Structure 1
Amino acid sequence: MKFRGHETFFIRKGWLTKGMKYVKRHPDVFVSKEEKPMDVLGIGSNMVRSLRYWMQAVGITKEPTHGKRTQQFTPLGELIYRYDRYIEEQGTLSLLQYELASNQEEATAWYFFFNEFQMLEFTRDDFIRSLKNYVLMKDEETSVADRSYQDDFSCIINTYIPRIKGGRLQFSPENNIACPLGELGLIDYVSQDRTIYRKTMVQPQMLSPYIALAMILLQHGDNTEVSLESLLHASKSIGRAFNLDMTTLMQLLKQLEQLGEVEVVRTAGLDVVHIMTEYTAQECIEQYYQDILKE
């Protein structure tokens, strides 16, 4: 489990693009002793650590667990760098969100929020209390500072709610840069005093069928039959990552059914999806980008 790896900085617009650019040129950009990372990347030392963390948390890069901690692109990172290095496509944002929400080890608070935390409307105290209980149940010997829980909650909120919507006056140009994942609209305010929040569902049109299929394959691997319940409510499911309801999930599956990639069976008491596609998850993602190039 990992907390506060972000150094209190949410992902700024342009950060991941900058990170990919320099990792491609210099895999040791974050640890180089010859060239200072702050000078190369043009950001402060805490932001360097934050960017290094985020590149891994959203599944773009990975680092070896021993030896020199150079960064390498993951297969997903390679595809994003090749097709959408400026993070302009909604499908790319969806993939980054899915990776982040599923990253139990590196982004524990995000994983907990989307997969384990059951409250649809909540306060900061609700979330922190539940997260503490989750950590205690997972490992009684793990000690996490209260400040880390608080900072993770604030970072989650700032990731998905644009700061301008919060009515906060910002005096630093750097702080005015919103997180790209805010476009997904997965959290909103309930109360006028902005102390109560709610989980909100992504707009259905933001999820491309082939991106959705990639997520289903990432969740279920080689299984050729999966239940609707698991797609909606299981940990690391598309339903959990995007706060989906059954109606929206069925809309996505119907689109995939029309493409001949799945078959939905809801007869004789069955609520299952037969996965018929011959694509791998990576091939689904590449198909999505290829379709965009044809438009």
Structure 2
Amino acid sequence: MAYGQHQSFYLRDRWLNKAIKHLIEDERFFYDKEAFEKIGLGKNMVQSLRFWVVATRVVEEKFNNDRKKIHLITPLGNIIYKYDKFIQFRDTASIIHYNLAKEIEPATTWYWFFNKLNEITIKKENLNKSLNDWVVFNEDKKISIRSLSRDVDCLIKLYTAGQSILDPEENIQSPITKINLLKENKGNIIKNSPSIDDVGDTALLYTLIKYAEDQGIDNVSVEEIATKKGLWGKIFNLNRATIVNALEKFTNQPKYSIKFTRTNNLDTVRLPEISSLEFLEFEYKRKVETLV
């Protein structure tokens, strides 16, 4: 499990675009001594950005033939860079969030907060204690309380920074605030239950197809969607009523619809026969054409 690798800097607007742009030109950009000058960020921010591009799955870290680390843009990263490099779509923000929170590494605190922490409202000091208790129980090695506290601070800022700022060019803006998953009020950290529009139709169906793809299945139950780690109820804080409404809406998709079977014992969803990336590119191409 991994903690505190973000150097205390949450992801900012335009950062992913900056990173991909430079990685297209140089797969070892993050090891360039002049990287911080080329990208226009501080040295620690560049290290933070290296973490964020991998954690959001737009870039993967590998070794080249010389056993040197390189960073390659993933198919997902290429789609985002091609169609929504400035993260204007809520769907993109939701997919970035999904990739951060769906698995235990490399952003363990994000995974814990959305998949394991059951409280909807919690005091910040209690949030720190709950994370520490979970880490002590699940880790063999000792993790510093300071590192965990930095993770909590960074998580909160990632979902709330810039919420009240009107200028989208403001350099403290986080690209993920737009999906309204979290708010801070008088020391309380509150998980919001967003609307379908907040998350985005494309993101919801993409994440469901991706889950089924990863699991090697073609159908999933509503109970799983509502309660299982890595799915809508956990990752997006969606209640069961909103989940059912979204599924009913997706039965009427013009191109890639689902089959939603409702019975007394088990409500199941059969997913369209398309890969998650093919679906995402189809939807993003359609979105861009609509905007032109």
**How far apart are the structure 1 equivalents of 2:137 and 2:176?**
30
TM-score (norm 2): 0.90
C-alpha displacement of 1:164? 6.5
**How far apart are the structure 2 equivalents of 1:205 and 1:163?**
20
**How far apart are the structure 1 equivalents of 2:233 and 2:282?**
22
**How far apart are the structure 2 equivalents of 1:294 and 1:104?**
36
Q: Evaluate the alpha carbon distance shift between residue 224 and residue 45 of structure 1 in structure 2; reply closer, same or farther with a 3 A threshold.
A: same
**How far apart are the structure 2 equivalents of 1:83 and 1:135?**
38
C-alpha displacement of 1:210? 3.3
1:261 aligns with 2:257: yes
**Partner of residue 132, structure 1:** 132
Q: Evaluate the alpha carbon distance shift between residue 12 and residue 236 of structure 1 in structure 2; reply closer, same or farther with a 3 A threshold.
A: same
1:273 corresponds to which of 269, 275, 278: 269
TM-align CA RMSD: 2.0
**How far apart are the structure 1 equivalents of 2:40 and 2:288?**
32
**Partner of residue 117, structure 1:** 117
- Determine if contact 1:109/1:131 at 8 Å carries over to the other structure: yes
**Partner of residue 150, structure 2:** 151
C-alpha displacement of 1:65? 6.0
C-alpha displacement of 1:162? 2.7
1:294 maps to a residue whose letter is: E
**Partner of residue 223, structure 2:** 229
1:285 corresponds to which of 273, 277, 280: 280
C-alpha displacement of 1:180? 1.1
1:185-243 Cα distance to aligned partner (Å, 9 max, x none): 111134xxx21121002232133333322101222223122111111111111221111
Q: Where do 5+ consecutive residues of structure 1 fail to align?
A: 167-173
**How far apart are the structure 2 equivalents of 1:42 and 1:189?**
30
Moved more, 124-133 or 181-190: 124-133
Q: Where do 5+ consecutive residues of structure 2 fail to align?
A: none
**Partner of residue 23, structure 1:** 23
TM-score (norm 1): 0.89
- Determine if contact 2:91/2:201 at 8 Å carries over to the other structure: no
**How far apart are the structure 1 equivalents of 2:2 and 2:94?**
22
**How far apart are the structure 1 equivalents of 2:45 and 2:91?**
26
Q: Secondary structure at the match of 1:30?
A: helix
**How far apart are the structure 2 equivalents of 1:179 and 1:68?**
32
Q: Secondary structure at the match of 1:230?
A: helix
Q: Secondary structure at the match of 1:267?
A: coil
**Partner of residue 171, structure 1:** none
1:210 maps to a residue whose letter is: T
1:155 maps to a residue whose letter is: C
Identical aligned pairs, as a percentage? 28
Q: Secondary structure at the match of 1:137?
A: helix
1:68-124 Cα distance to aligned partner (Å, 9 max, x none): 121101121111112111221121111111111114211000111111110001012
Q: Secondary structure at the match of 1:71?
A: strand
Q: Secondary structure at the match of 1:254?
A: helix
1:231-267 Cα distance to aligned partner (Å, 9 max, x none): 1111111221111011211122112111262122221
List aligned pairs for 1:1-295, cutoff 5 A: 1-33=1-33, 36-64=34-62, 67-139=67-139, 141-163=140-162, 165=164, 177-190=172-185, 194-221=186-213, 222-259=216-253, 261-275=257-271, 277-295=272-290
- Determine if contact 1:9/1:50 at 8 Å carries over to the other structure: yes
- Determine if contact 2:3/2:107 at 8 Å carries over to the other structure: yes
Q: Secondary structure at the match of 1:235?
A: coil
C-alpha displacement of 1:163? 4.8
**How far apart are the structure 1 equivalents of 2:158 and 2:262?**
37
**How far apart are the structure 1 equivalents of 2:194 and 2:74?**
26
**How far apart are the structure 1 equivalents of 2:195 and 2:273?**
28
1:27-82 Cα distance to aligned partner (Å, 9 max, x none): 1110125xx11121121111010011111111110101683121101121111112
